[in-house]
Structure 1
Amino acid sequence: MPDSLPLLTVVLEEPGPLDRESATFRRLLAARLRYESQLRIVHFEETLTTKAIAALCDSLESKYVVFMRATQQLSPSYLATMLDYLEPRNIYLAEPVVYAGAIPKNVSATKIEDAYCYARDTDIYGVVFNTGRLALALEAIGDVDRSALYLSYRLYWSIGAVKPLSIGFSVATDTKAAIGLSVESDVERLVPLIATASKELRIYLVRYLALFLRGLRAEKATQVSLNHLRDVVRSFRLVELVRFVEPLQPFEAAWIRWLGGPGPEARPFKQLTGGDSYLLFSEGEQESGDDLLLYRLTCGGDVLTIRKSYRPHDNRPGFGRAGTYDFYSRPIGPQSTMLFFDRPMQADDNAEHLYEYFTRKHPEYTQAYFALNPKSPDWPRLMDKGFKLLPIFTTDFYEKFLISDLVVSSQIYNVRYRGKSFANSRFVYLQHGIQLNDMTDWVLSKYYDVFVATGELEADYMSALAPNETLNSGLPRYEVLAREKSSPTHLLFMPTWRFNLHQVSAESFSKSEYCRAINELITDPLLLNHLRETGRVLEVKLHPNVEKRAGHFKFSEHVIQSELGYREAITSAEMVFTDYSSAVLDAAFIETPIAYYHWDAADFFREQPYEARVDYSYDGLGPVFHKHSDLVSHIVQEDYLRSNQLFAKRRETFFRGVDPANINASIVERMLSL
């Protein structure tokens, strides 16, 4: 062992067995061998907390410390560059350029500007702290959550600006943006209220607060008081920066404005045709009256009630003000520009089917466009069908969006251009799937004039959140599916994705329970033998977020990755099964047998941005299996071919209110009335 103390300790957080084949671990190990006297690696086998970090600081002998997770990623030169930088200096903080996704080849080309600051993860990972300075700071700020430790450290030592080194680090996840964050149960303050003039820090703080508020909507309770939240907003003048929050987290933006007060409890949220929707924030257990009760949250010793109401246009602040344009002022008519789109690289979803119906039934609307990436394999197909195609997310697209009177899509994107957004213009959301899970927090964060529901169960759920916007018509593709159902040619497996695996390394993905369970099923000898003997093929339709991982699955002659479009795959299926995807309801709608395979029922919702709303065992439209052997038996014995009155009755109840022959007509009637 060398006599000198190490310069840097890498604390690798990995509860449970360490993935020694991961790119991050192998890169750390190589650096450890090269810089033996300067570098130490500590495997921390629990989740890091502020208290754990304080204890580590007391035990570490190195001058500097950096915290990492095995699933995160670092550029090849990360450690070499960092050590070279640290050796001749005595600094408080050193950091790389931080990403949520893949590290680009040219890290130095990244623009460190406001947009980068707002998108940057502000947790402790990847940043090098001076161990002694961190220990001293923790004596004062040791009551904050680990996720706020980086921000609190910079506030404590008045580190207003940091110039990142020309190396990259990726936290390899974007889940916080969708689900927010939850702090430890005993945390009573987010950050110390130490004044700063740094815009960089204040942008970090407004993002952190927005993520905290988003997480609070899910958690429903915190020890952090409303007064502290107000102090954070006012001390750091965060209302001035709420524009960074609004595009992706409009609910939290309204909340921050209310915390910044003074002002009315009602905050405008979405402009609508017949009036506007408002969010109402008030202390105490207020009665809802005619308003919709959305949340009742506990904040320390305080109760915060959040409601929703609909009010006339002229109640809106600034209504009719000179210099502003009302995008609702022009009624929809044959002269209107309309935009339809599904995914940028993939059509064959609800927008395509509604567009085809609409342009056939209403040829007088000559300025209806379908937006798509020209590189999409669907582009030539739609061109042959006579679609008026528009390259999506181009200058021409945004110019058309600016003059459009209506946007219709199966996806919700943050489309903004020259003051126009879905907050102040007409948008019909067709959905891609059905709200089987509790998506309340997500649903309430989005702008739409019409939310297309499918059946009484979903419509009742949505009406409690958006009664004026909900339309129980059914999805446009269902009308096509009912019309085009063909003779069965294959079995179809449609697994959904796992939110927590979206950005993990290839090594971690290959070792995940998700990958193992799917491979165990599709390589089952009994299943493969049955497929061979009966001449059947099992097509596996991977979720678009998983297609890039297709090489990890063990396909074979009779179990193949499906290249069919959704419509063709489902209409020609003999039986369709999934884990949790609502896509199988397309099959159930046309009376094709379905089934569920819940191999991870105990853990699935733990790291997802939603919770179960439907009990599949009692409300599912097909049987639920937890062991792959039981599912295989169901297939091999062809149980799915036998009629089942229970599932037939559930299907009828689920889709109640939907007329298969008039789905598109119902949506068109509603959208033309906006």
Structure 2
Amino acid sequence: MRKRLPLIQKVNKAALLGLCLVASFFYRFNSKYRNIWLVCERGYEAGDNGYSFFKYLCQNHPEIHAFYLMDYSNQQDFNKVNSIGEVIQYGSFKHKILFILAKYLVTAHRGTIEPWNYQQYKRFCGFLSKNQKYIFLQHGITKDDVSNVLGRKQTSFDLFITGAKPEFDYISSTFGYHNGEVVYTGFARFDDLHSFKIKKQILFMPTWRKKLAWSNISDRAEMFKNTDYFRYYQSLLSNEELIRVLNQSGYQLVFYPHHEMQQFVDCFSTNAEHILIGNKERFDVQTLLKESSVLITDYSSVFFDFGYMGKPVVYYQFDSVDFFQTHYKRGYFSYQSDGFGPVFSEEQEIIDYIKFLVNSNFQIEDKYRQRIERFFTLKDQNNCERIFQSIIQLK
């Protein structure tokens, strides 16, 4: 019986695909389902480039038949998207039908918008949607060498959106894409980073570690507590001098680990009045980025958004050798010569620099401001418009 299971699963998948193909034929008679723009992020959220671009479509091009894919169980994000346009349950039968019918597939994450393996789908059923275009909005600016994941041989992207000029130069020259398949438009969400109110808040947002997030160890929490990742960050959160600085200055620190590390967020603790441990149910990343005065991170690409807003960034990289050996390969970006702030490996250096920023009213240093200006040669609220124009020009 076990040997027959894979065959049964394949038959069921083929039957479902066949049913979707038949249903899509009848959907084509409804003008609402012609020339569809299907937009997605991770499939259960709306707060990134996908949502920003969908909002732009709904507000500026109501003539376009645009649909946003997400799980209805995320009621907060569902209500937000549903108030501006039509939402389709992620993974539903209708998702699969609209995927077949869509003229444009627009996504912030690879491998989420497609209900089937896209390359196999195109191979066997591509004749049904031969003019379909796949647009990759990206989630964060690419700074490391991830050509083994996002290179042209590994993807089916017809258009690869970049958020900065050095990123565009790097991807278009080293990832194997043809001329015109990579464009520098700026990220869709950058349109919303020009108006914000800053609170007395420090955002501490480290990125993830592949070997921890994808560990197969049964007692993952216990494993995690024995890692340098936990020990270093818990130590900083418990630092008496940091707590004293926060109390005296009136600033609050929000510790918000990367999405992939949220599974371990309950391992961290604090008794400090001015330190909060942030989880994804309670906090919205874009709101945190806009309202915070300074960002402490290790390697998270959210520092690009923060720098774009002209606010100071601090890098805490206690494990850089291990990180670039086991997580990502170095790309074009050097934290030392291109970074938007100082790079530290010791806890005390972080404390000292926070005190420096408090005393300077959290003003970004000139040398870092100049680096940011060189990095973002486009800085306006026309990013979504440029993306839109790039899409409709696809042949």
Matched, 1:623 2:322: no
Matched, 1:477 2:189: yes
Q: Alpha-carbon deviation of 1:547? A: 0.8
1:525 maps to what in 2?
Answer: 240
2:393 maps to what in 1?
Answer: 673
Matched, 1:664 2:384: yes
Label 1:111 to 1:412 Cα distance change in 2 as closer, same or farther (>3 A): farther
Label 1:511 to 1:421 Cα distance change in 2 as closer, same or farther (>3 A): farther
Q: In the alignment, residue 488 of structure 1 is paired with which amino acid?
A: K
Q: Alpha-carbon deviation of 1:589? A: 0.2
Which residue of the other structure, out of 157, 163, 169, is the alignment partner of 1:454?
A: 163
Alignment of 1:4-19 (within 5 A): none
Matched, 1:560 2:279: no
SS in 1 for 2:135: strand
Q: In the alignment, residue 140 of structure 2 is paired with which amino acid?
A: G
Q: In the alignment, residue 379 of structure 1 is paired with which amino acid?
A: F
Q: Alpha-carbon deviation of 1:506? A: 2.0
Label 1:511 to 1:112 Cα distance change in 2 as closer, same or farther (>3 A): farther
Q: In the alignment, residue 310 of structure 2 is paired with which amino acid?
A: E
Matched, 1:506 2:215: no
Provide the alpha-carbon RMSD of the alignment.
2.5
Which residue of the other structure, out of 66, 76, 86, is the alignment partner of 1:368?
A: 66
1:196-233 alpha-carbon deviations (Å, 9 max, x no partner): xxxxxxxxxxxxxxxxxxxxxxxxxxxxxxxxxxxxxx
Alignment of 1:319-358 (within 5 A): 335-358=34-57
Label 1:395 to 1:571 Cα distance change in 2 as closer, same or farther (>3 A): same
1:595 maps to what in 2?
Answer: 314
Counterpart Cα distance in 1 of 2:168 and 2:288: 27
Q: Is the 8 A contact 2:33 2:98 kept in 1?
A: no
Matched, 1:440 2:147: yes
2:94 maps to what in 1?
Answer: 396
Q: Alpha-carbon deviation of 1:555? A: 3.3
1:121 maps to what in 2?
Answer: none
2:17 maps to what in 1?
Answer: none
Q: Is the 8 A contact 1:473 1:659 kept in 2?
A: no
Label 1:347 to 1:537 Cα distance change in 2 as closer, same or farther (>3 A): same
1:548 maps to what in 2?
Answer: 263
SS in 1 for 2:260: coil
2:291 maps to what in 1?
Answer: 572
Counterpart Cα distance in 2 of 1:114 and 1:636: 63
SS in 2 for 1:602: helix
Label 1:396 to 1:587 Cα distance change in 2 as closer, same or farther (>3 A): same
Which residue of the other structure, out of 416, 421, 430, is the alignment partner of 2:137?
A: 430
Q: Alpha-carbon deviation of 1:479? A: 1.0
Identical positions, percent: 23
Q: Is the 8 A contact 1:502 1:545 kept in 2?
A: yes
Q: In the alignment, residue 138 of structure 2 is paired with which amino acid?
A: Q
Counterpart Cα distance in 1 of 2:232 and 2:72: 36
Q: Alpha-carbon deviation of 1:112? A: 5.3
Q: In the alignment, residue 359 of structure 1 is paired with which amino acid?
A: C
Q: Is the 8 A contact 2:159 2:182 kept in 1?
A: yes
Counterpart Cα distance in 2 of 1:496 and 1:621: 16
1:489 maps to what in 2?
Answer: 200
Q: Alpha-carbon deviation of 1:665? A: 0.5
TM-score (norm 2): 0.82
Label 1:637 to 1:361 Cα distance change in 2 as closer, same or farther (>3 A): same
SS in 2 for 1:113: helix
Counterpart Cα distance in 2 of 1:642 and 1:361: 36
SS in 1 for 2:68: strand
Alignment of 1:604-623 (within 5 A): 604-623=323-342
Q: In the alignment, residue 198 of structure 2 is paired with which amino acid?
A: S
Q: Is the 8 A contact 1:434 1:454 kept in 2?
A: yes
Counterpart Cα distance in 1 of 2:241 and 2:211: 31
Counterpart Cα distance in 2 of 1:115 and 1:622: 55
Alignment of 1:13-32 (within 5 A): none
SS in 2 for 1:477: helix
Counterpart Cα distance in 1 of 2:235 and 2:3: 42
Counterpart Cα distance in 2 of 1:630 and 1:421: 53
Segments of 5+ residues of structure 1 without an aligned counterpart are 1-107, 117-332
Q: Alpha-carbon deviation of 1:360? A: 0.9
How many residues get paired? 348
Counterpart Cα distance in 2 of 1:612 and 1:598: 17
Q: Is the 8 A contact 1:494 1:584 kept in 2?
A: no
Counterpart Cα distance in 2 of 1:421 and 1:345: 25
1:51-97 alpha-carbon deviations (Å, 9 max, x no partner): xxxxxxxxxxxxxxxxxxxxxxxxxxxxxxxxxxxxxxxxxxxxxxx
Larger radius of gyration: 1
Segments of 5+ residues of structure 2 without an aligned counterpart are 10-31
SS in 1 for 2:259: coil
Q: In the alignment, residue 566 of structure 1 is paired with which amino acid?
A: V
Counterpart Cα distance in 2 of 1:110 and 1:633: 62
Matched, 1:644 2:343: no
Q: In the alignment, residue 440 of structure 1 is paired with which amino acid?
A: S
1:495-527 alpha-carbon deviations (Å, 9 max, x no partner): 100011113322211101111111011111111
1:534 maps to what in 2?
Answer: 249
Q: Is the 8 A contact 1:485 1:590 kept in 2?
A: no
Please state which structure has a larger fraction of its residues in helix.
Answer: 2
Q: In the alignment, residue 646 of structure 1 is paired with which amino acid?
A: K
Q: Alpha-carbon deviation of 1:336? A: 1.0
Which residue of the other structure, out of 407, 414, 417, is the alignment partner of 2:105?
A: 407
SS in 2 for 1:666: helix
Label 1:375 to 1:643 Cα distance change in 2 as closer, same or farther (>3 A): closer
Structure 1 residue runs of 4 or more that deviate by more than 6 Å after TM superposition: 108-111
Counterpart Cα distance in 2 of 1:421 and 1:361: 31
Counterpart Cα distance in 2 of 1:605 and 1:363: 45
2:20 maps to what in 1?
Answer: none
Counterpart Cα distance in 2 of 1:610 and 1:114: 39
1:84-141 alpha-carbon deviations (Å, 9 max, x no partner): xxxxxxxxxxxxxxxxxxxxxxxx999853799xxxxxxxxxxxxxxxxxxxxxxxxx
Label 1:489 to 1:647 Cα distance change in 2 as closer, same or farther (>3 A): same
TM-score (norm 1): 0.49
1:113 maps to what in 2?
Answer: 6
Counterpart Cα distance in 2 of 1:665 and 1:612: 29
1:379 maps to what in 2?
Answer: 78
Counterpart Cα distance in 2 of 1:624 and 1:502: 25
Q: Alpha-carbon deviation of 1:609? A: 4.5
Q: Is the 8 A contact 2:200 2:250 kept in 1?
A: no
Q: In the alignment, residue 292 of structure 2 is paired with which amino acid?
A: A
Q: In the alignment, residue 473 of structure 1 is paired with which amino acid?
A: T
Counterpart Cα distance in 1 of 2:73 and 2:33: 30
Label 1:590 to 1:604 Cα distance change in 2 as closer, same or farther (>3 A): same
Q: Alpha-carbon deviation of 1:427? A: 1.0
Label 1:470 to 1:517 Cα distance change in 2 as closer, same or farther (>3 A): same
Q: Is the 8 A contact 2:253 2:276 kept in 1?
A: yes
Counterpart Cα distance in 2 of 1:600 and 1:565: 27
Q: In the alignment, residue 384 of structure 2 is paired with which amino acid?
A: N
SS in 2 for 1:548: helix
Counterpart Cα distance in 2 of 1:548 and 1:357: 32
Please state which structure has a larger fraction of its residues in strand.
Answer: 1
